[in-house]
């Protein structure tokens, strides 16, 4: 340990297209502090394909892994010998991509002779909030990204987590990407829809709210029908030779997504008696989602916690944060024959 | 010098500890080997195998002087596990990591071949990874091709024997081994290990571009 620093935990994340390495410090009271958050992204290599290509992502992870660990340790100002534990995303995610991070994490843990924690990516999205807002009370988490759209009941970061609902087709971020493409906006679509939609009328077009009927699953999501409705609307205009009001379409689509997400999340929080809600995942960077979640949580007397955008997207710091909480809670480390599990259930926070 | 040898370019997950004497004329000694045939468990088996080999050799990871790793060609997901493990161990232990063509390592482990040799391994999709050797030199490859294309090249290469898991398809006399072993891997890098320099970053021999197609013009959504 260096100076007054606490216990150092290194986290590795490779579940999708970001090679993330984070370093956090855990103090005696269980608090965590962010020391480094290095990210190498292959997003530009995927742009021309309109989505993440698993093999391209995996190749980039192999190239980026060791340099990212170097940069993270240098930024954190810790020597390799100071690292007390290594945490890694064991799943869910792209199998080939996960394997690169898991293999690297095992090698670092074995070489440094420190415990290894193979953790759940979704639980890490929740844990990251403690780096910005401190200890987390029992909460309801809404995680939305290009890969996931989940509502989770999280009584404790060390688990177990109860999944309340998830998307039954496209992830919310995927819908943003597809609609962006439809509107001629670049990949990834989320930030562009957000930007363009600011000049549009969110009530201009009444796009459908998926799975909101009285007989539908209360906490599941569906964005496939919405995406199709936007496509039909745009094509209808194009056939009629009417210019597409891109800002209105973007704003109305975005409103349909965030309306359903926030309504269901607030309802879930009320039903489970959660007084705190955490937003996470890349789509949590969406300004309209933040605003509507804030408004509806305030009305329902729920404290909303949204980490800054950099912590919402996939990164190594979130994995290090969860690893630190598990270490503090005395969790049993994962074995060195830890597999990567592309469909790891969220009920499993740590691979035992 | 103690060297950890790793290879995951074939269904065999290989880890071994090899001793390289400073004197070039003295042979290398294999101290311990862990090799398991399981194409789906490279990630689970490799590091425990490496630790078990070290334990059997009576050494700790910290006692190693270098790491040698097969850089393929091989099915990508498995190949990357060996390479990132080697790179991370080298980084964490501050050791040089030498990359070796996995087909070269197989060739180095063959015995009693009197003439040019073909090494062919499974590239899936009805293709093979292959290279040809004469004496200590690689004279062709590595390539990824249909077995028939390899067979058509054999007369011109003058090959008399074949090694590797797909050797049987060549029609040549089949010799062992089927997959890279620690001895062959380290033999291919022994001079570099003795020299003690820092090799450049590892570059995998993928030989194929990623499967990815840029989307064409958007298909209209069905209406009605
Ligand atoms: Zn994520």
pLDDT at residue A9, rounded to an integer: 98
How far, in Å, CA of B136 to CA of B120, rounded? Answer: 17
Res A3 pLDDT > 90:
no
Tell me: do B8 and B79 sit in the same domain: yes
Contact A337 B223 (CB under 8 A): no
Range of the domain at B189: 2-102+180-195
Tell me: do B139 and B90 sit in the same domain: no
pLDDT at residue B217, rounded to an integer: 45
Distance A281 CA to ligand 1 centre (A): 5
Res B220 pLDDT > 70:
no
Distance A18 CA to ligand 1 centre (A): 10
Q: Where residue B162 sits, what CATH number does that domain have?
A: 3.30.420.200
Cβ(B178)–Cβ(B165) below 8 Å: yes
Tell me: do B19 and B69 sit in the same domain: yes
Tell me: do B187 and B77 sit in the same domain: yes
Going by pLDDT thresholds of 50, 70 and 90, the confidence category of residue B203 is very high
**Cβ atoms within 10 Å of B126's Cβ, excluding its own:** 9
pLDDT at residue B224, rounded to an integer: 34
Res A210 pLDDT > 70:
yes
Q: Is B124 in the A-facing interface, judged by CB distances under 8 Å?
A: no
pTM of the model: 0.94
Q: Is A70 in the B-facing interface, judged by CB distances under 8 Å?
A: yes
* A116-120, strands of its sheet edge to edge: A32-41, A18-26, A7-13, A83-91, A116-120
* Coil vs helix vs strand at A259: helix
Average pLDDT for A96-120: 98
Cβ(A19)–Cβ(A68) below 8 Å: yes
Tens digits of residue pLDDT in B33-75: 999 999 899 999 999 999 999 999 999 999 999 999 999 999 9
Which among B214, B215, B220 has CB closest to A235? B220
What mean pLDDT value characterizes chain A?
95
Res A159 pLDDT > 90:
no
Give the residue from chain A lying closest to B224, CA to CA: A232
Going by pLDDT thresholds of 50, 70 and 90, the confidence category of residue A4 is low
How far, in Å, CA of B221 to CA of A229, rounded? Answer: 9
Instruction: Report the candidate in A207, A150, A210, A219 with the shortest Cα–Cα distance to residue A179.
Output: A207
Going by pLDDT thresholds of 50, 70 and 90, the confidence category of residue B95 is very high
Going by pLDDT thresholds of 50, 70 and 90, the confidence category of residue A194 is very high
pLDDT at residue B213, rounded to an integer: 65
Contact A103 B87 (CB under 8 A): no
Q: Is A72 in the B-facing interface, judged by CB distances under 8 Å?
A: no
Res A154 pLDDT > 70:
yes
Domain contains B157: yes
**Beta bridge mates, B14:** B7, B35
Domain contains B203: no
Q: Where residue B60 sits, what CATH number does that domain have?
A: 3.30.420.40
**Strands of B20-96, DSSP E:** 29-37, 66-70
Alpha helix segments (H runs only) across A303-348: 309-312, 316-328
Q: Is A334 in the B-facing interface, judged by CB distances under 8 Å?
A: no
Contact B48 A336 (CB under 8 A): yes
pLDDT at residue A195, rounded to an integer: 97
Tens digits of residue pLDDT in B125-183: 999 999 999 988 999 999 999 999 999 999 999 999 999 999 999 999 999 999 999 99
Q: Is B194 in the A-facing interface, judged by CB distances under 8 Å?
A: no
Total number of domains constituting chain B: 2
Contact A53 B46 (CB under 8 A): no
Domain contains B206: no
ipTM (interface predicted TM): 0.94
Tell me: do B126 and B143 sit in the same domain: yes
Res A55 pLDDT > 50:
yes
Res B186 pLDDT > 90:
yes
Tens digits of residue pLDDT in A231-279: 999 999 999 999 999 999 999 999 999 999 999 999 999 999 999 999 9
Q: Which of A105-119, B2-16, B186-200 has the lowest mean pLDDT?
A: B186-200
């Amino acid at each position: 340990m260096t100076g007054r620093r606490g216990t150092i935990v290194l986290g590795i994340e490779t579940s999708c297209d970001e090679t993330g390495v984070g370093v956090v410090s855990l103090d005696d009271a269980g608090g965590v502090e962010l020391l480094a958050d290095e990210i190498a992204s292959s997003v530009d290599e995927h742009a021309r394909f309109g989505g993440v290509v698993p093999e391209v992502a995996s190749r980039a992870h192999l190239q980026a892994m060791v340099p990212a660990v170097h940069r993270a340790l240098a930024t954190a100002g810790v020597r390799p010998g100071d690292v007390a534990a290594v945490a890694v995303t064991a799943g869910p995610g792209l199998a080939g991509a996960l394997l690169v991070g898991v293999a690297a994490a095992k090698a670092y843990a074995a070489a440094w002779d420190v415990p290894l924690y193979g953790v759940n990516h979704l639980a890490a999205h929740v844990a990251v909030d403690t780096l910005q807002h401190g200890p987390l009370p029992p909460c309801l988490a809404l995680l939305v990204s290009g890969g996931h759209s989940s509502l989770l009941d999280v009584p404790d970061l060390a688990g177990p987590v109860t999944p309340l609902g998830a998307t039954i087709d496209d992830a919310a971020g995927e819908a943003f990407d597809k609609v962006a493409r439809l509107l001629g906006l670049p990949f990834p679509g989320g930030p562009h829809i957000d930007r363009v939609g600011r000049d549009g009328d969110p009530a201009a077009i009444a796009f459908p709210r998926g799975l909101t009927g009285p007989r539908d699953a209360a906490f599941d999501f569906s964005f496939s029908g919405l995406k199709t409705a936007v496509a039909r609307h745009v094509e209808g205009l194009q056939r009629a030779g009417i210019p597409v009001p891109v800002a209105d379409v973007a704003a109305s689509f975005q409103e349909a997504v965030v309306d359903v997400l926030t309504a269901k999340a607030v309802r879930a929080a009320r039903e489970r008696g959660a007084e705190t809600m955490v937003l996470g995942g890349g789509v949590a960077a969406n300004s309209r989602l933040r605003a509507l979640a804030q408004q509806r949580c305030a009305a329902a007397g729920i404290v909303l916690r949204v980490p800054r955008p950099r912590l919402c997207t996939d990164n190594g710091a979130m994995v290090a944060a969860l690893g630190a909480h598990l270490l503090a809670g005395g969790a049993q480390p994962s074995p060195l024959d830890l597999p990567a599990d592309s469909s790891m259930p969220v009920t499993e926070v740590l691979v035992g | 010098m103690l060297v950890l040898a790793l290879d995951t370019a074939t269904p065999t997950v290989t880890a071994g500890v090899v001793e390289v004497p400073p004197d070039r004329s003295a042979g290398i000694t294999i101290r311990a080997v862990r090799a398991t045939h399981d194409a789906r468990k490279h990630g689970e088996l490799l590091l425990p195998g490496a630790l078990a080999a070290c334990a059997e050799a009576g050494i700790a990871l910290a006692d190693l002087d270098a790491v040698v790793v097969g850089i393929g060609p091989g099915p990508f997901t498995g190949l990357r596990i060996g390479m990132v493990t080697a790179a991370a161990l080298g980084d964490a232990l501050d050791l040089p990591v030498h990359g070796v063509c996995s087909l070269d390592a197989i060739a180095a482990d063959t015995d009693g071949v009197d003439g040019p040799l073909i090494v062919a391994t499974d590239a899936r999709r009805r293709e093979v990874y292959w290279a040809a050797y004469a004496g200590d030199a690689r004279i062709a490859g590595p390539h990824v091709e249909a077995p028939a294309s390899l067979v058509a090249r054999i007369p011109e290469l003058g090959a008399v024997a074949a090694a590797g898991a797909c050797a049987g398809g060549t029609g040549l006399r089949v010799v062992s081994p089927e997959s890279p072993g620690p001895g062959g891997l380290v033999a291919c890098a022994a001079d570099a290990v003795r020299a003690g320099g820092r090799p450049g970053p590892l570059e995998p021999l993928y030989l194929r571009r990623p499967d990815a197609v840029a989307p064409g013009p958007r298909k209209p959504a069905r209406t009605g």
